[in-house]
Amino acid sequence: MSPFCPDSMINIIQEHNLTPDAARAAAEQVAQKLAREFDLACQWQGDVLRFERSGIEGALTLLPQQAQMQIKLGMMYGMFAPAIQSKVAEKMRKVFAGA
């Protein structure tokens, strides 16, 4: 049995008009915020920034004109999924769309 429940999946797609280097810098800002708040380890694999810790795992994938975030939350964090999604979506909007 997986420690992640299907109701605790977060998927966020954020459009952007950034250059690849600027998009990577924006992704780093999002990752730093997540790392601080949830004590996550982050690592780039090509254009995918993977992050994890016990109970949380995910990836931020950079595409031309789009950033895609997928987060899987374990049971302990699952109840906070709406709040986590809201915070992450807001941060992505700010750094990728320049809001």
**pLDDT, tens only, 46-97:** 999 999 999 999 999 999 999 999 999 998 888 889 999 999 999 999 999 8
Q: At 5, which amino acid appears? A: C
- Name which of 26, 25, 51, 23 is nearest 37 in CA terms: 51
**Residue 99's pLDDT is what?**
47
* Entry pTM: 0.86
Amino acid of residue 36: R
Specify the pLDDT at position 5: 55
Q: Write the pLDDT tens digit of every residue in 6-43.
A: 558 999 999 999 999 999 999 999 988 888 988 999 99
DSSP designation for 79: T
Distance CA 39, CA 17 (A): 30
pLDDT of residue 7: 57
Task: Tell me the CATH number of domain 4-94, given options 2.60.40.10, 3.30.310.50, 3.40.720.10, 3.30.390.30.
Answer: 3.30.310.50
